[in-house]
Structure 1
Amino acid sequence: MRKTWVIAGVIGVALAAGSAWWTTQAPARAAAAGKDGGKKSEKAAPPLVFRASEVVRPQHQAMPEEVVFSGALAAPRTALVRAKASGTLLSLTVAEGSRVQAGQALGAIDVSDLNHRLAERHAGVEAAQARVAEAERVHRSNEDLARQQFISPNALESSRAALESARAQLKSTRAQLDTAAVGLREARLLAPIAGIVGKRSVLPGEKVSAEQELLTLVDLRELELAGVVGTHQVSKLQAGQPVTVRIEGVDAPVTGRIDRIAPQAVAGTRGIPIVVLLANPQERYRAGQYASASVTLADPVQRLTVPLSAVSQASGQDYVWTVEKGVLVRRIVITGRRQVAQGRVEVTQGLPADVDVLAARFDNLKEGAAARIAPPSGQPVSAASPLADAQGPSAGADGRPATRAR
């Protein structure tokens, strides 16, 4: 009986020791099993599959350069109507927005003072004419007396000097009369140009002074767009070049031409003023509207280009993703000209012309990952979404599915 109990105790101790060893080795077995499973999973990861529409080949094409500048439209033929005499503004026959013709009367100023001054100058001329007539009579009489030697030569010279002085005085008074007449004539409020009243600064009944601004007239048949271009671009422009102008509030662009280019840059900048002339015979556009002008310069060179969406940037470097020999390759590139409207960018270095480039941006891509391009005629699964359950998801750099960048 005692022997039986001893044998049972030995068996129990052995079982307990075996159970403890198995328990202590379980984490190591689990880690090893996980490592082996990860290797098998990594080896079994399917390649990324891209649609044919998501992959492009670089193209050689011309990229015309576009010089763009902007500013507000201005009317070069703008006239300020100013008062040429002080007085009370009796009337203004036009209002803002009224159309006027050159020489049209715009109103009237009380010019009573000018009328009185003009009458005074007329009287001065008449008095000067009388003095001249009297001096001529005296001088003729002195000439007769001098021939008879009744007066001395000095007396004759004195009368001649008096006559010349009277004639000079007559010229002076006539000049004063002409000045008064001109002042009265200019005091009339007449339109200097044909156009539209843009601003009225005074109202009838106000007291105005000489040179005070009364009205602003604007001729809209021709407008100007003044902008600034860089010194590196101005040599490519010249007067007479056609310009495409886009005006705010106007759907269709209009055509203008470069009228003049400043001879030097603005102080403290690298910009040179340039003026574009825009015909506006129908007066559809108004001074002050904001506009953008662009000049297209032909490009004689065929450049290697890719879509703008294919180029990404990291750490100040541009790069593209390519599919080469069944794997993803991240290529650092140097870009040149850009055409935002056409969505193209020039690649000057770093990209061969015969590689497949991802035209869209994707997240979680890993260089060296297996990749392939689905045939256009099939129904491939996009790399932007997980593959079918039978194949498993397309893995990115961190094991997550590759998705299109937003």
Structure 2
Amino acid sequence: MKRSTLWILGGLVCAALAAAGMRMYVQRGQPPAQAPSPGTAVQPTQAPLELAPADLVTVQRMALSLAVPVSGTLKASQTALVKARVAGELMDLTVREGDAVKAGQVLARIDPAEYEARVRQARQQADAAQSQVDIAQRQFDNNKALVDQGFISQTALQNSTASLAGARATHQAALAALDVARKALDDTVLRAPIAGQVSQRLAQPGERVAIEARIVELVNLSRLELEAALPAADAVQVRTGMRAQLQVEGREEPVNARVLRINPIAQAGSRSVLVYLGIDGEPGLRQGLFAEGRLGTRSVQALAVPLSSVRTDKPQPYVQVLEGDTVRHVLVKPGARTEVTQGHLTTTWVEVQGLAEGARVLAASAGALREGVRLSVGTAAR
């Protein structure tokens, strides 16, 4: 082996020995780590988070009203559209929108001159037909007497009988025509079929109207109805007489309603069932206002938490439960809901399965926390 190679190998060995000696020197200069004694607690690496008392709610048992949401437009239970039954010039229409009317009150008239003339014509034709009946009756009486005495044949009497029957029929037809003329004359007076208020005036005095022309529309606001379309699954639980509370636009106070009728058939396409709720008329309620609310079907006792405490950012709903000072995520199964009003604040509470009564649950204001996070609460939860 060459002498240069030996020198290189010797240098490498010396460098390795020097590095090992330096490492041993450093380790001897550092004091050994002290192991914790058995009675000494390990200090946490992070302080617990502060939690306000309002950020905790307690799982409590309460009466939950199983309710079905309903919505729709208010309609008057009684409406009427007054139309012209005869043609002519409209007269004496004085009522306007908002005016109150009584049943049978005269609302307007149609110029009766033409129909009065028709009544006179029909009466005169009836009188003429009556005269023909009298003539035919006398002819029949004379012929009958002659037949009895044997002066004329039976055929002449039969002809008199037929003439008398024809005259009587003509007279009856004339009387029927007189009744028709009188009916047309009566139809020139337009009366209110129901008591209520005028909602629309659709014609003006002096206007010539045709038959079936719309004149005024009336509504009776003493009783209102709400037509709500319910899914078939919800409609099965609804019965006549059930109560509901509705919030009508423009009103702060809720309105009480009651199920009056349930449509026996489902709507084509949507398969929804129409339910009709009755509402007593109150000041401020108008036809056409939108209303929504909940129709109570039954009440149950169950454990509940605020709906906002149930989180859905995982595949299954869960709540954040504070056990001791540690957060734990517990899966729950939501159920019935109810509205709870405290002061001026209304909160939705929901039935939950999977929690014990009295458990402390984080409210929505606490936000989302990782499972295992430690919390500190100053006072007891509300």
Cα contact 2:334–2:351 (8 A) shared by 1: yes
Alignment of 1:160-171 (within 5 A): 160-171=161-172
What residue identity is the alignment partner of 1:155?
A
- For residues 250-298 of structure 1, what are the alpha-carbon distances to aligned partners after superposition, in whole Å with 9 as ceiling and x for unaligned? 2212223211111122111242111111222x55421112222432233
Is 148-157 or 326-335 further displaced after alignment? 326-335
Equivalent position of 1:247 in the other structure: 248
Equivalent position of 1:306 in the other structure: 305
Equivalent position of 1:238 in the other structure: 239
Q: Which runs of 5+ in 2 are unaligned?
A: 1-14, 20-42, 340-345
Cα distance in 2 for partners of 1:362, 1:293 equals 30
Equivalent position of 1:75 in the other structure: 76
Alignment partner of 1:46: what SS?
coil
Equivalent position of 2:296 in the other structure: 296
Equivalent position of 2:86 in the other structure: 85
Cα contact 1:64–1:296 (8 A) shared by 2: yes
Q: Find out whether 1:366 has 2:370 as its counterpart.
A: yes
Match of 1:357 among 347, 358, 361: 361
Equivalent position of 1:342 in the other structure: 347
Alignment partner of 2:64: what SS?
coil
Q: CA 1:113–1:52 in structure 2 vs 1: closer, same or farther (change >3 Å)? A: closer
Cα distance in 2 for partners of 1:137, 1:336 equals 93
Q: Find out whether 1:124 has 2:125 as its counterpart.
A: yes
Alignment partner of 1:161: what SS?
helix
Cα distance in 2 for partners of 1:364, 1:156 equals 112
Q: CA 1:357–1:277 in structure 2 vs 1: closer, same or farther (change >3 Å)? A: closer
Q: TM-score by structure 2 length?
A: 0.80
What residue identity is the alignment partner of 1:365?
L
Cα distance in 2 for partners of 1:91, 1:246 equals 41
Equivalent position of 1:202 in the other structure: 203
Equivalent position of 2:379 in the other structure: 376
- For residues 159-214 of structure 1, what are the alpha-carbon distances to aligned partners after superposition, in whole Å with 9 as ceiling and x for unaligned? 11111111111111111101110111122122222221111111112111111111
Coordinate RMSD, CA, aligned: 2.6
Equivalent position of 2:287 in the other structure: 287
Equivalent position of 2:330 in the other structure: 331
Equivalent position of 1:144 in the other structure: 145
Cα contact 2:48–2:376 (8 A) shared by 1: no
Equivalent position of 2:29 in the other structure: none
Q: CA 1:283–1:306 in structure 2 vs 1: closer, same or farther (change >3 Å)? A: closer
Cα contact 2:51–2:378 (8 A) shared by 1: no
Cα contact 1:266–1:272 (8 A) shared by 2: yes
Cα contact 1:220–1:283 (8 A) shared by 2: no
Q: TM-score by structure 1 length?
A: 0.75
What residue identity is the alignment partner of 2:195?
A
Cα contact 1:239–1:261 (8 A) shared by 2: yes
Cα contact 1:97–1:198 (8 A) shared by 2: yes
Alignment partner of 2:92: what SS?
strand
Cα distance in 2 for partners of 1:190, 1:366 equals 75
- Residue 332 (structure 1) shift: 3.0
What residue identity is the alignment partner of 2:333?
I
Q: CA 1:44–1:92 in structure 2 vs 1: closer, same or farther (change >3 Å)? A: same
Over the matched positions of the two proteins, sequence identity in percent amounts to 35
Equivalent position of 1:260 in the other structure: 261
**Of Structure 1 and Structure 2, which has the larger fraction of its residues in strand?**
2
Aligned length: 336
Q: CA 1:172–1:212 in structure 2 vs 1: closer, same or farther (change >3 Å)? A: same
Cα distance in 1 for partners of 2:56, 2:120 equals 93
